[in-house]
Structure 1
Amino acid sequence: MTATATTTSVSLGVRDVHLAFGANRVLRGADLDVAFGATACVIGPSGSGKSTLLRTINRLIEPDSGDVLLDGRSVLRDDPDALRQRIGMVFQQFNLFPHMSVLRNITLALRKLKKLSEDEAVQLARAQLDLVGLAAKADSRPAHLSGGQQQRVAIARALALQPQIMLFDEATSALDPELVKGVLALMADLSAGGMTMVVVTHEMGFARSVADTVAFMDHGVVLEAGEPAAIFEAPEHPRLRRFLSQVL
C-alpha cells in the first residue's frame, strides 16, 4: 500500500499566535513553519498547547491574536467550513457515525460540502478506502472494525475531501499498542507521497524517522525547531534536553 497526496501541497505559517481560556494562557506566541510537501512533528509534554495549536490552524478555535498563513495569505477571514476542506484533520478519537456504514461515513461530507453526486462520492470514497487498505470494509459498520481500522477510515474520510494539508492530533494515542504500527505506516506513506502534514505525536521514533522538521512546545510556545537529527541528537534548549531525557 502506497499513499500519495491528491492535491498540490501548500506552505503553512503560524505567526505569534496567542490564545487564552479565561486566565489560562494556552498559546503564548506560538510560531511554526511547514514547507511545501514537508512533515512537521510537534512534540512536548502534555498541556503544552500542541493540540490547541492544531485547532487554531483550521479554526476549530479562533486565536486571540496572531495569524495563520497558507502560501503567505491569512486564513483568519476565510469561511471556516471552506477552510476545513483545505486543511484535513484526524483526531485522537475516530468520530465516526456508528449507525452508518464505512462508505456512508466518507460520502456524507462529499455530498454535503463538495456537492458531489452519489455516484461521484461513492467512487471517490471507494478509492480512498482502497488507499488505506480497507476496500473490503466499505459496507461494515464502525463497531465491526478494530480501532486501527476505524482510525484509517477517519484518515480516508479526511483525504476524500482532497485537502492541501493534513493535521494529525495524537492519531494513535487511543489505539492498542499492536494497532499503532499500521496507522503510523499509513501516515509515513502520506508523508513520502508529498502531503504537507503537521503531526502532534508522542511517538518519538516516528518523529525521528519521518519528519522533515520537529518542533518542541512547552507552555504554549515553540521553544526549539529543526531537523530531527538536531532536535534528538544535539538539542540546544535545556527544557528540550530535560524532556528528551525522560521520554527516550
Structure 2
Amino acid sequence: MTAGTATTSSVSLAVRDVHLAFGANRVLRGVDLDVARGATACVIGPSGSGKSTLLRTVNRLIEPDAGDVLLDGRSVLRDDPDALRQRVGMVFQQFNLFPHMTVLRNITLALRRLKKLPEDEAVALARTQLALVGLAAKADSRPAHLSGGQQQRVAIARALALQPQVMLFDEATSALDPELVKGVLGVMAELSAGGMTMVVVTHEMGFARSVADTVAFMDHGVVLEAGAPAAVFETPAHPRLRRFLSQVL
C-alpha cells in the first residue's frame, strides 16, 4: 500500500516495498511511503508496529532485507552511508550529545569531520542553527546544564547544521517531561512551515493533525491506512485505525 498521494515528479523520498526481519520476527512487511518535497509525513501507530525501524532503514542505520528507498529518484542503498546521513538528518528519542563538549562543539564536530569545514565556518554555521532553535545564548554551555527540551533542540540544530534534504524525527519528544514537549514541537512545526521535507514518528496526535500533510498509520509492520490528516483522524476507514484512535484521542 502506498502512503500518500504525491505525484512522481514531486516525490522527494519514496519507500518501496521494504521488508525487514530479525530472525523469525518480520518487523517490516512491504512498507510503501511517498513524501513530497517540502512536505511533512507523520507516522503513527502502536508501539512495536515498526515505525522507528522504518526510519532507520531510510538512513541505513539498518539495511532492509528487500525493497528500496529512493531520494529524488535515486536509491540510497547505493550511497555511502556517511554521505547519505548528511543528506538525511535524524533526531532520536535520546539526545546523544557528548557531555564533555560544549553545545557549540557538539554541533561543529560533524561539520569539521564530515564536511571538512574550517573552524570559523563551522562555528558560524553552528551559531546560526542555534539561533534558529532559540538557543544562541547556550553555545558555551555543557549539555548537563540544559533542560531536556533544550538538549533536544541542540540535537535538532546539530542535524540541521549538515543542511540535509530530509529530516527524520523518531519520537523526538517521548523522553521529555510534558512541560518541555511544546518547545520542541514548536521548532519542528517551524521547520515544516519553512519547507523542510520531514518524516516524523510521533505519539503527539495534535501535532500530526495540525502539521502533517500526510499521516500514515502502521501496525504489525504494514501501513494500513494513509492520507490527509482530516481523513485519517475524522473518517478513518480501517477498523484497526479506528480502534487505535479511540484509545489515544
Q: How far 1:72 moved relative to its partner? A: 1.5
Give the equivalent residue in structure 2 for 1:50. Answer: 51
Name the % identity: 92
**Is 1:192 equivalent to 2:193 in the alignment?**
yes
- Count of aligned residue pairs for this structure pair: 248
Q: TM-score, normalised by structure 1?
A: 0.96
Q: In the superposition, relative to structure 1, how do residues 233 and 188 fare at CA in structure 2: closer, same or farther (>3 Å)?
A: same
Q: How far 1:5 moved relative to its partner? A: 20
Q: In the superposition, relative to structure 1, how do residues 5 and 31 fare at CA in structure 2: closer, same or farther (>3 Å)?
A: closer
Give the equivalent residue in structure 2 for 1:107. Answer: 108
Q: In the superposition, relative to structure 1, how do residues 216 and 93 fare at CA in structure 2: closer, same or farther (>3 Å)?
A: same
**1:226-248 deviation per Cα after TM superposition (whole angstroms, max 9, x unaligned):** 00000000000111011001111
| Structure 1 SS opposite 2:42 | strand
Distance in 2 (CA, whole Å) between partners of 1:7 and 1:114 is: 31
2:21–2:27 contact (8 Å) kept in structure 1? yes
Q: In the superposition, relative to structure 1, how do residues 188 and 8 fare at CA in structure 2: closer, same or farther (>3 Å)?
A: farther
| Structure 2 SS opposite 1:151 | helix
How well do the aligned residues superpose, as a CA RMSD in angstroms? 4.6
**1:75-109 deviation per Cα after TM superposition (whole angstroms, max 9, x unaligned):** 10110000000000000000000000000000000
Distance in 2 (CA, whole Å) between partners of 1:2 and 1:129 is: 36
Q: In the superposition, relative to structure 1, how do residues 182 and 129 fare at CA in structure 2: closer, same or farther (>3 Å)?
A: same
Distance in 2 (CA, whole Å) between partners of 1:175 and 1:184 is: 11
Q: How far 1:6 moved relative to its partner? A: 23
Q: Which runs of 5+ in 1 are unaligned?
A: none
| Structure 2 SS opposite 1:13 | strand
Q: How far 1:73 moved relative to its partner? A: 1.3
1:168–1:198 contact (8 Å) kept in structure 2? yes
Q: How far 1:223 moved relative to its partner? A: 0.6
| Structure 1 SS opposite 2:28 | strand
**1:152-185 deviation per Cα after TM superposition (whole angstroms, max 9, x unaligned):** 0000000000000000000000000000000000
| Structure 2 SS opposite 1:100 | coil
In the TM superposition, 1:168-183 aligns within 5 A as: 168-183=169-184
| Structure 1 SS opposite 2:47 | coil
Runs of 4 or more consecutive aligned structure 1 residues displaced over 3 Å after TM superposition: 1-10
Q: In the superposition, relative to structure 1, how do residues 6 and 241 fare at CA in structure 2: closer, same or farther (>3 Å)?
A: closer
2:6–2:34 contact (8 Å) kept in structure 1? no
In the TM superposition, 1:46-85 aligns within 5 A as: 46-85=47-86
Q: In the superposition, relative to structure 1, how do residues 50 and 136 fare at CA in structure 2: closer, same or farther (>3 Å)?
A: same
In the TM superposition, 1:1-248 aligns within 5 A as: 11-248=12-249
Distance in 2 (CA, whole Å) between partners of 1:70 and 1:180 is: 30
Q: In the superposition, relative to structure 1, how do residues 163 and 88 fare at CA in structure 2: closer, same or farther (>3 Å)?
A: same
